[in-house]
């Protein structure tokens, strides 16, 4: 039986209204949810709906978590059946976004949101919102290696405090979650599908943080004429002053007690260098490093070398022990730094004990590189003594400087 014209008209008006609100989600937020927005919040919300990859670096206090969860909620309401995830460095943080920003704030501001809620769970094990239209939002921790979220499938992901979520988790775990098209079916070939989305929100960090490179990449892609995927922005505290959110006197007090670098990150939403006058720029140093290769003990079959930068006790300086794994090739050798330890104001005797401890962890160490002159002589003398390890009730031989011919000649090679 054909639908009545009045029903068809209502459906047409509904779809037209839905299309308008999808293009103007800030208007939906104010007209339907009755939540008033500042101008910068409207701009960011429209950017989230328009672009697939968003990265926001906002000054502390501008409400990045609040606006982030609000964008996700509006998206879930306008797109039935949306699967949304909130990823944070710890489950407690993801849960707090759902409990505090959604339940304790947004539901109080908007009775409409609360009446659309079918189920709400917030406990030590789970944080999840389910809406009557089939959409849901759930909070997840990243875990140490991203395993706690690996295999999940989302249409939308909010990564809260993205600077503290490891790069390999974003690139290797979160982005692959987004590959499955919304509404896909075997017998349906529809190119007009809605893309999945990732929203990264964070306060700024140092330039060696992975978020800085990603932020710069988004900015670069934004400048491309046909860009429809990438959006990034940083908003300083002056935005909060302009809309009356911040107290200028309090900002001045914060600036007086914070270092210039801290203030630059926290309130100017910039990614500072550690030191502009450093002999070797930290950016260059970090580009030559690999922070993913970390070992707490040696791996059988590999050779290692140890370096020791010795400091005296009186100066309360740091003695640094580094361990490098060797990778041998036909024409060269490469080394990864896999372990580091520091000792501040420690006697040479205790430094020698620490060296022995590291040697037990990495029995594949074939050589130790250390300054044995001046300051290093004290540690060298301690290492040249026989060492008794009480836990094993075993004596270990001295560690002799191979450049000391007199000491080397005393070694009994017949044993």
- Note the pLDDT tens digit of each residue in 180-206: 666 555 665 555 556 789 999 999 998
- Residue 185, pLDDT score: 59
Burial class (CB in 10 A: 0-12, 13-18, 19+), 51: buried
Report whether pLDDT(210) > 50. Answer: yes
Own/partner contacts of 44-47, CB < 8 Å, gap of 24 or more, are 44/71, 44/233, 45/70, 45/71, 45/74, 47/231, 47/233
Pull the structure tokens for residue 161: 């405090």
Write phi, then psi, for 85 (nearest 5 degrees).
-120, 145
Contact indicator for 89, 139 with CB cutoff of 8 Å: no
Residue of 19, 67, 33, 20 whose CA lies nearest to 47: 67
Q: What is the mean pLDDT of residues 97-102?
A: 92
- Residue 242, pLDDT score: 92
Q: Is the pTM of this model over 0.75?
A: no
- Residue 138, pLDDT score: 93
Q: What is the mean pLDDT of residues 165-169?
A: 81
Q: Could you give the CA distance from residue 21 to residue 212 in angstroms, rounded to a whole number? A: 33
Report whether pLDDT(1) > 50. Answer: no
Q: What is the mean pLDDT of residues 204-221?
A: 91
- Residue 279, pLDDT score: 64
68 membership: H or E segment, kind and range = helix 64-78
Q: What is the mean pLDDT of residues 375-404?
A: 84
Report whether pLDDT(385) > 80. Answer: yes
Residue of 199, 232, 201, 245 whose CA lies nearest to 38: 245
């Amino acid at each position: 039986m054909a639908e009545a014209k009045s029903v068809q008209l209502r459906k047409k008006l509904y779809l037209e209204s839905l299309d308008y609100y999808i293009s103007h989600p800030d208007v939906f937020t104010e007209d339907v949810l009755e939540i008033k927005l500042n101008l910068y919040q409207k701009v960011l919300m429209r950017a989230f709906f328009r672009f697939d990859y968003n990265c926001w670096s906002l000054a502390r206090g501008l409400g990045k978590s609040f606006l982030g969860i609000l964008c996700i909620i509006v998206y879930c309401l306008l797109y039935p059946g949306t699967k949304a995830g909130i990823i944070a460095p710890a489950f407690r943080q993801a849960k707090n976004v759902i409990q505090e920003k959604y339940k304790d704030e947004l539901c109080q501001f908007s009775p409409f949101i609360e009446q659309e809620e079918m189920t709400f769970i917030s406990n030590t094990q789970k944080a999840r919102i389910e809406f009557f239209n089939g959409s849901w939002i759930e909070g997840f921790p990243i875990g140490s290696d991203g395993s706690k979220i690996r295999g999940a499938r989302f249409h939308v992901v909010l990564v809260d405090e993205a600077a503290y979520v490891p790069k390999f988790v974003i690139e290797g775990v979160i982005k692959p979650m987004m590959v499955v098209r919304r509404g896909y079916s075997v017998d349906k070939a529809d190119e007009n599908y809605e893309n999945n989305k990732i929203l990264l929100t964070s306060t700024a960090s140092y330039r060696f943080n992975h978020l800085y490179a990603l932020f710069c990449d988004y900015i670069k892609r934004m400048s491309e004429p046909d860009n429809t995927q990438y959006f990034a922005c940083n908003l300083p505290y002056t935005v909060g002053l302009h809309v009356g959110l911040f107290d200028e006197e309090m900002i001045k007090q914060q600036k007086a007690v914070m270092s210039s670098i801290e203030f630059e990150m926290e309130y100017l939403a910039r990614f500072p260098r550690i030191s502009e006058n450093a002999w070797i720029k930290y950016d260059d140093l970090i580009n030559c490093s690999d922070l993913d290769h970390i070992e707490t003990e040696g791996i059988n079959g590999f050779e290692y070398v140890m370096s020791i930068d010795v400091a005296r006790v009186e100066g309360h300086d740091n003695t640094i022990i580094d361990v490098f794994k060797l990778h041998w090739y036909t024409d060269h050798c490469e080394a990864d730094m896999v372990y580091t330890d520091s000792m501040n104001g420690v006697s040479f005797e205790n430094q020698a004990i620490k060296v022995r401890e590291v040697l037990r962890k990495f029995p594949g160490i074939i050589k130790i590189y250390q300054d044995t002159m001046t300051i290093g002589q004290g540690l060298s003398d301690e290492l040249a003594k026989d060492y008794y390890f009480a836990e094993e009730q075993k004596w270990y031989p001295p560690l002799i400087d191979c450049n000391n011919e007199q000491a080397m000649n005393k070694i009994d090679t017949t044993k």
